[in-house]
Chains A and B, each alone.
Chain A
Amino acid sequence: METAGETSANGVLTISDLTVAIHGKEILRGVDIALRPGQVHGLAGESGSGKTMTGLAVLGLLPHGARTTGRIELAGRDLLSLPAKELNAVRGAEVAMVFQDPATSLHPMLSVGRQLTEHMRHHLRLGRREARERAIDLMRKVRIPGPEEAIDRYPHQFSGGMRQRIAIAVALACSPKVLIADEPTTALDVTVQAGILRLLRGLCDDLGLAVLLVTHDLGVMSAVADEVSVMKDGLVVETGPRGQVLREPRHAYTRALLDALPENAGAETTGTEPSEGEPA
């Protein structure tokens, strides 16, 4: 684990001692996470442990009536105390988000080109043509086949995997420094998931993006995350490099999470006999 001084020195986004209470109920009870450029920080934990809330807090998307304390620092500013107008300039431009279900996170009645260019034109003040060219570029970057034609199509004309690629392209449109991906592959087929994970990892390496990957799937975590934090009841119980957290967990809860997995969930390791779930 690293000390606080170290993280604020080279982190692009530093969450320190974040608490969130909704109607008097404490959802987060002091969360510390530091994101570094070019690194994927995985956030694991069960449902209700506060991993999604942590992601939403960064974007100021918490539900009404949420009270926060602590600091979320991005380039010297505290996002929690930023006025709405300035926060709007951060959202989508410096920090972007990808949600679980691309079928609902994209607008069904707007062409993907419109959704890709809207915030570029707003944040970067690009002209129509320029924004469109950039959108085609982005679609190429996320490997959508035939981007010149695809840009005028609507979300329903794409498969789930392609839609999630588009959602990622939308998030990347304004070259954010931080990407928050909340269960980005949970709604997808495994074969498609593999492609999205490769894409995320590649973007992170090529663009120096700092990614906060919220997922319950420790396999996904193991595949792409550099650092892993494990959350339980609104607290981060363990943080460390991927290999250490997943192989030699220090906290009992992390060990319990790993033990709860069906053994040898990876299929390519042949030769070992898998454990049956339960016999009939």
Chain B
Amino acid sequence: MTLLTVDDLVVEHRTPGRPVVRAVAGASLSVAAGEVVGLVGESGCGKSTLARAVCGIGRPASGTIAFQGRPVAPLGLRRRDRSLTGIQMVFQDPYASLNPRRRVGDQIADGLRAAADASTTPADLLDRVGLPREFATRYPHEFSGGQRQRIAIARALAARPSLLIGDEPISALDASAQAQVARLMRDLAVESGAGLLFISHDLSVVRLIADRIAVMYLGKIVEIGRTDEVWADPRHPYTRALLGAIPAPDGAGVLPAELPGDVPDPAAPPRGCRFHPRCPKVMDVCREREPEFGPVACWLHEPA
């Protein structure tokens, strides 16, 4: 069953006196129950904006976001619709997403209240994320980054989400805690039958936990497919470049290939295919027309 469907989503950032930035420029994506979808791409490609739109933070300029068949209304001043508390998010920086002045147990209890869950205690949730039960009476500053992110995960899980979103949940963590926390999120989501949309710029971690990978470039999803297939046979030149840039631990001393150039300014995306100025396989058609198809949005892989 499809839990979340994002269809041709466009999100624009408007700043007075500046050109409109199309952070998400027509992206489509779906997440099924019990499925883990990894969304990867370089910083500035719009993956966080997409995640926030799914939670109702920010109003889409066009396109639709449907959660369990119902449209996701942007978050306003009123209390959020009960059905939408099924979407929970774990943010990038646990130093900022936890309230420093409240005990972590109380913060987890907020989630339990949202789900009207009177039988579970915050300590049970701490247990599930692998922390000692007695930590519930402590404050966020008493914990390390990895522990804090576990607490943030516990708080999100407390609301019994059917869709968990991780917006770069591991990038603020110590390098060696990253894989652990990512695995924990996956296990907990899959265990409870929820879907997980996991956003990260770290391909090697996404590969470990995702069933499907969506690769985003400058506001568009350029390739989507099963993780093992994308990994074994990346088809979009951008996906190839991303994977090719990961150094192999083979002891050969080969420097990874560099993708020339920077991500272009999303306020003035290049004409035609968005990747063409950096693409090693650029053709004439790429400069003229944008490939508007999937699962691989590249003129080399145009569906017949």
The segment from B61-69, B117-125, B153-161, B256-264 that touches chain A is: B256-264
**How far apart sit A45 and B254, CA to CA, in the bound complex (Å)?**
21
In the complex the two chains form, is B258's CB within 8 Å of A223's CB?
no
A190-B245, A191-B42, A268-B244 known; A198+B250 contact, CB < 8 A: no
**How far apart sit A126 and B243, CA to CA, in the bound complex (Å)?**
44
- Is residue B248 within 8 Å, beta carbon to beta carbon, of the partner chain? yes
In the complex the two chains form, is B204's CB within 8 Å of A265's CB?
yes
A residues whose Cβ falls under 8 Å from a Cβ of B: 46-48, 100, 159-161, 183, 186-187, 189-195, 197-198, 201, 215-226, 242-247, 258, 261-262, 264-270, 273-274, 276-277, 280
- Is residue B34 within 8 Å, beta carbon to beta carbon, of the partner chain? yes
**How far apart sit A250 and B258, CA to CA, in the bound complex (Å)?**
32
7 A/B residue pairs, CB under 8 Å, sorted by A: A189-B43, A189-B201, A194-B255, A194-B259, A243-B253, A244-B251, A280-B36
In the complex the two chains form, is A223's CB within 8 Å of B255's CB?
yes
A47-B174, A47-B175, A274-B231 known; A269+B251 contact, CB < 8 A: no
User: Nearest chain-A residue to B233 (Cβ)?
Assistant: A270
Report B41 CB to chain A, min CB distance, Å. 9
- Is residue B94 within 8 Å, beta carbon to beta carbon, of the partner chain? no
Chain A residues with CB below 8 A from B249, complex form: 218-219, 221-222, 246, 258, 261, 265-266
Report A269 CB to chain B, min CB distance, Å. 7
Report B75 CB to chain A, min CB distance, Å. 27
* Interface size counted on chain B using CB atoms at 8 A: 47
For the complex of A and B, the 8 pairs showing the least CB-CB separation, nearest first, are A266-B248, A246-B251, A267-B243, A47-B176, A219-B247, A223-B247, A218-B249, A194-B256
B residues whose Cβ falls under 8 Å from a Cβ of A: 34-36, 42-44, 171, 174-177, 190, 201-204, 207-209, 211, 227-228, 231-234, 240-259, 262
**Listed residue (A47, A187, A215) with the most chain B CB atoms within 10 angstroms of its CB:** A47
In the complex the two chains form, is B42's CB within 8 Å of A220's CB?
no
Chain A residues with CB below 8 A from B240, complex form: 267
**Listed residue (B44, B174, B250) with the most chain A CB atoms within 10 angstroms of its CB:** B250
In the complex the two chains form, is B175's CB within 8 Å of A186's CB?
yes
**How far apart sit A189 and B231, CA to CA, in the bound complex (Å)?**
17
In the complex the two chains form, is B208's CB within 8 Å of A262's CB?
yes
**How far apart sit A209 and B40, CA to CA, in the bound complex (Å)?**
35
